[in-house]
Amino acid sequence: MRSNRRGVAVLAALISVLACAPTDESPSPAGHRAGAPGIGDPDFPRDGNGGYDVAHYDVVIDYTPASKRLEGVTTIEAAATHGLSAFNLDLAGLDVHEVTVDDSPATFTRQGDELTVRPAGPIDERDRFTVKVSYAGTPNAADASADLGTYGFLPTPDGAFVASEPNGSKTWFPANDHPADKATFDFTITVPAGLTALANGERAGQPTTTGGKTTFRWRERHPMVTYLATATLGKFELREGRTPGGIPNLAAADPRFSSTLDGLYTTSAEVTDYWATVFGPYPFGSTGGVVDDYAAGYALENQTKPLYGGFNPDESIIVHELAHQWFGNSLSIKRWKDLWLNEGFATYAEWLWSERKGRRTAETTFKKFHSRPATDPIWSYPPGRAKPGDLFNLSIYTRGAMTLHAVRRAVGDQTFFALLRAWATEHRYGHVTTDQFIELAERMSGKDLGALFDAWLFQPRRPA
């Protein structure tokens, strides 16, 4: 994610973390117990859920912009990580009509954003099961935050702008809504005829129109965290083709931003192909981007389709969001405290792009930021520990990028760029932590980098 406001920064699935928080319910004699209402992230204790690992989401929605009404049926394929007598899903606001588990009716209760499901019979450890939830209502935006604003399923005059970081997917489908649980996705989106629905991945067949409505089907066959899922819809002009390197490329723009379409398409192609030479092969089946007429003030790296909210994205923002396809999307964080592994890497990619274009070297950019006075707020916010109430602080971006440049200075270009490629390759489609990156950097360089990382990531002061 990256902000469009100058000087302000806001913003298969068997590869997953099987973590769950403690539960207050005692085990039954058979060893079954309720899954925890959180996945175990202490900074976001109610996000995600314990007791199961999602493999696949099949999200079916019908949305009418005029009434802002959404009707949905989401089917979730999962596996129990311990014997389950009940389990939770994250779902905000929408009314639930029916829940089934393995085609049998299940009872359910609601408390806040927690949907608790009790299947007709217990689920044994490691058993695969399918839960189907039917729901409807008017989606409400996720709670605003100081450095982000509203997010989730956001109505527009002709459709919806769907950007869900950090935990807004629950505003439009039931989910294990935390990046620690990745899954593959199918989307079936029905809208009034004349509108276009865009989701992650590639088209699964051609759109079909009947009774004044058109249905679009998309499939993301690579593991994806829930906050990267999108169902952005409305009036769009499209340009499709392939990058010079052969990667399918789709650019879409609201008619108000039609003048941006060719630039978005061309720049996205150039950037994707270049990052593939630096970070390793592109991890997904397609690239591109979407510009919608919604004044979000930020962009989000939705997997395969970065989303730009109400502005003409300049080259640096496209560079940033497409770098996220490697760092943040293919490599996902287990806990939000490690957010610099997403935003610091994508910000440093902007510096590398500028360097490649012969504009400003990364060293010059590094020195510019390091010259800020010791009282500058970025020095009091150590980026290695993102704060839950201030996730998208400028320090996460800028000081995170400076950390990478400090590593580059310490190990030399040859080792540094080999490190970036190895990092993206070794953890492709998986989860990563700061400790893992430090370990890899030390192993590849043969140097003790503990003091460097401590100074740049964890100390509330400007490093020397």
- Token digits for 46? 């109610």
Residue found under tokens 């499709």:
240
Residue 119 has pLDDT above 60, yes or no: yes
Residue 141 has pLDDT above 60, yes or no: yes
CA distance 429 to 35: 25
pLDDT in tens, 280-300: 999 999 999 999 999 998 999
CA distance 241 to 265: 9
Residue 227 near residue 219 (C-beta atoms within 8 A):
no
442 alpha carbon, distance to own chain's centre: 28
- Token digits for 441? 């950097």
List, as one string, the DSSP characters of 191-218: EETT-EEEESSEESS--EEETTEEEEEE
pLDDT category of residue 21 using cuts at 50, 70 and 90: very low
Domain architecture of the chain: domains with CATH = 12-144+170-178+185-223 (2.60.40.1730), 332-458 (1.10.390.10)
pLDDT at 2: 72
Total Cβ atoms within 10 A of residue 392: 24
Residue 224 near residue 164 (C-beta atoms within 8 A):
no
pLDDT at 6: 33
pLDDT category of residue 11 using cuts at 50, 70 and 90: very low
Residue found under tokens 């100081």:
146
Mean pLDDT value of segment 9-35: 50
Quote the percentage of the chain above a pLDDT of 90: 91
pLDDT category of residue 148 using cuts at 50, 70 and 90: confident
30 or 315, higher pLDDT: 315
pLDDT at 288: 98
Question: In which element (H, E) is residue 321 found?
Answer: helix 315-323
**Radius of gyration over every alpha carbon of the chain, rounded to an integer in angstroms:** 22
pLDDT at 28: 55
pLDDT at 146: 59
Give the residues across from 62 on adjacent strands.
71, 190
CA distance 356 to 319: 12
Residue 13 near residue 79 (C-beta atoms within 8 A):
no
pLDDT at 12: 39
Q: What is the DSSP letter of 27?
A: P
Q: What is the DSSP letter of 142?
A: P
CA distance 76 to 89: 10
pLDDT category of residue 144 using cuts at 50, 70 and 90: low
Residue 51 has pLDDT above 80, yes or no: yes
pLDDT at 145: 63
Mean pLDDT value of segment 4-29: 39
Mean pLDDT value of segment 204-228: 98
CA distance 297 to 315: 16
CA distance 95 to 135: 5
Q: CA-CA distances (angstroms) from residue 23 to 37, 40, 55, 180, 206?
A: 8, 11, 23, 18, 45
Average pLDDT, the chain: 93
pLDDT category of residue 240 using cuts at 50, 70 and 90: very high
Residue 23 has pLDDT above 70, yes or no: no
pLDDT at 25: 43
6 or 336, higher pLDDT: 336
